[in-house]
Structure 1
């Protein structure tokens, strides 16, 4: 995308007609969201880099930040790519235990020793819990989340099988800090957020580590563990416009206003389709011949990128169990509005 008005400071609104979007179809979004997606707090749609639709609900406004849950994982993926480019980390095949020399695994535990950054990024490291039944509350009760996760890592199962783990993403945050000397929050502010116009994410003062402190409505900035590691799997707060900036950066293969923020090759690797339909902490989808990739967070927090349509959809949502899948909304009412 070659242009002079990158949304580093302000988004430019685009005329849907000029951008080949059916404005009438977009106008149907508000009533549909109110009727069927009641926990959506804010939604931004960007086509060809221009804002074509933006709406807020439940009293929220454009500058309000929202806890985006597991969307945090996809941001962490970007940070690992930047850290490799900056030579803080050698490559994705560097072993996880390289970064924790003070951790002493059982010397017979060869599987743990073989696990690499790539396995954490692709969710292909083994853990002892059942699929989709990770005991996250247990990790949050520990005084040392990293040691707890390292103890779990490599137990049961085999390397290479997909198993979704939030604790594994937290290890990536600790690896980033071990290799750069900065928390993921500090590193992101400097190397990712500031260059694309996202206001500095403040430090969130953790007074306790209960459910409300870690996941509740009062989460601000970026949550951290008792050792000051930014949470790797959740805990970041962003505005929907900020989320859309991340999506636009990815659509433009890591380049922003003639500056390469994330390496092109990293974006390509992160979003390359595979049998697990999961890249480097990004969900992948191919439907009706149209490819998309998305950062997805609990409750329906989404950054969805559809390269073929040069489309980004960013949705911030409140936590609620069994919230409706956002894909139907995106596919039928947003992607379907592109003429």
Structure 2
């Protein structure tokens, strides 16, 4: 059943400015099927009932249908799913590798661990959780690295994808010994480098401090169960630690519940799952202009918090859990909006061609958000 594309009738309706010229015809938009379907955690509601222009939503889904690697697109407003669809032969049952969106889940687990006291706090030295390696560390700067710096990606560890040696390590698999083996690119706290290794060290720290080694057990009880989430897999490294930076396998609907929880201040059904103060800290921009490459005209201000990105698009700022291939949980608090994208994770694929696919998926969301007018509180 296709949604009815009724005319937007009031200033409170959020329109898509891109619909004014170019792009799909009225007939194209009328043929788009994005009818919402309720799922656990969300009622279904037509977009116009939640203040979104249905023509703008139709154009968003029309554009999604032109993308080569997208798997799903879900739009949630005011806690209701207003649009969803699956592409390229996928469906709602697909539980897939969400790549570096995993980092945002890892960040949530660190916040829970600090709240429970098994990790002392942001200023706790990283080496506290790797005591067996203390005598092997030859770079004294590594003794200074803190949990907070790992979260911010300001610990000094390098962007591994920038070198052939780093890429080999990235796909071979990390281990606790990399605390010693991988040299620092800069002094801890002096600058930002995108570091998969830092996120994995966080996961190992939580596992060792809170979970009797297996992070999945801790995560299932503290985070996944409240979110009605059952990962189909979470890859382990050679020593059995869950990868804190990638290869968590969840569905688009499970990602939507995670994004809505962050939008709701860490609460699920009235229960506090992640501390509200942790949400605020995670979404604070500690580094501006963090990303290395241009993504798109509306994908701007790539600031970084605690395992979350802060992106400007037009008049809006949204928070983004971002994974390779264009996996996204975009959260726009000012408009009570969550947008989830899953895509081909492009595992092991680097270079211009996969980056072009990823950018197309990222820009789909950024362009739509940029086209939404500012909230009219009057």
User: Of residues 245, 248, 253 in structure 2, which corresponds to 1:233?
Assistant: 245
Secondary structure at 1:280's aligned position in 2?
Answer: coil
Secondary structure at 2:132's aligned position in 1?
Answer: coil
Question: Is residue 125 of structure 2 the alignment partner of residue 95 of structure 1?
Answer: yes
Secondary structure at 2:330's aligned position in 1?
Answer: strand
Secondary structure at 1:102's aligned position in 2?
Answer: helix
> How big is the shift at 1:227?
1.3
Counterpart of 2:29? none
Structure label with greater radius of gyration: 2
**Aligned partners of 2:112 and 2:275 also within 8 Å:** yes
Q: Distance in 2 between matches of 1:129 and 1:299?
A: 18
**Aligned partners of 1:176 and 1:183 also within 8 Å:** no
Q: Distance in 2 between matches of 1:242 and 1:174?
A: 23
Secondary structure at 1:293's aligned position in 2?
Answer: strand
Q: Which runs of 5+ in 2 are unaligned?
A: 1-37, 289-302, 347-353
**Aligned partners of 2:101 and 2:323 also within 8 Å:** yes
Counterpart of 2:59? 28
Size of the alignment, in residue pairs?
311
Q: Distance in 2 between matches of 1:232 and 1:113?
A: 21
**Aligned partners of 1:74 and 1:281 also within 8 Å:** yes
Question: Is residue 157 of structure 2 the alignment partner of residue 127 of structure 1?
Answer: yes
Counterpart of 1:197? 228
User: Of residues 333, 347, 364 in structure 2, which corresponds to 1:329?
Assistant: 364
Counterpart of 2:327? 301
- TM-score for both structures, normalised by structure 2: 0.77
Q: Distance in 2 between matches of 1:246 and 1:118?
A: 22
Could you list the per-position Cα deviations for residues 292-336 of structure 1 after superposition, in whole angstroms to 9, with x for gaps in the alignment? 110100010000001111110111100341122434322333563
Secondary structure at 1:196's aligned position in 2?
Answer: coil
Secondary structure at 1:74's aligned position in 2?
Answer: helix
Q: Distance in 1 between matches of 2:323 and 2:110?
A: 19
Q: Distance in 1 between matches of 2:172 and 2:138?
A: 28
User: Of residues 249, 270, 286 in structure 2, which corresponds to 1:274?
Assistant: 286
Q: What is the aligned-residue RMSD (CA, Å)?
A: 2.2
**Mean alpha-carbon deviation: is it higher for 327-336 or for 259-268?**
327-336
**Is the alpha carbon distance of 1:128 and 1:41 closer, same or farther for their aligned partners in structure 2, counting shifts above 3 Å?**
closer
Question: Is residue 69 of structure 2 the alignment partner of residue 39 of structure 1?
Answer: yes
Question: Is residue 344 of structure 2 the alignment partner of residue 318 of structure 1?
Answer: yes
> How big is the shift at 1:131?
7.5
Q: How does 1:113-262 map to 2 (within 5 A)?
A: 113-127=143-157, 132-133=162-163, 135-141=166-172, 145-152=175-182, 155-160=184-189, 161-180=191-210, 181-198=212-229, 200-202=230-232, 221-262=233-274
Structure with the larger RCO, 1 or 2 (CA within 8 Å, 6+ apart) = 1
Q: Distance in 2 between matches of 1:196 and 1:129?
A: 32
**Aligned partners of 2:160 and 2:166 also within 8 Å:** no
Secondary structure at 2:148's aligned position in 1?
Answer: helix
Q: Which runs of 5+ in 1 are unaligned?
A: 1-6, 203-220
Secondary structure at 1:18's aligned position in 2?
Answer: helix
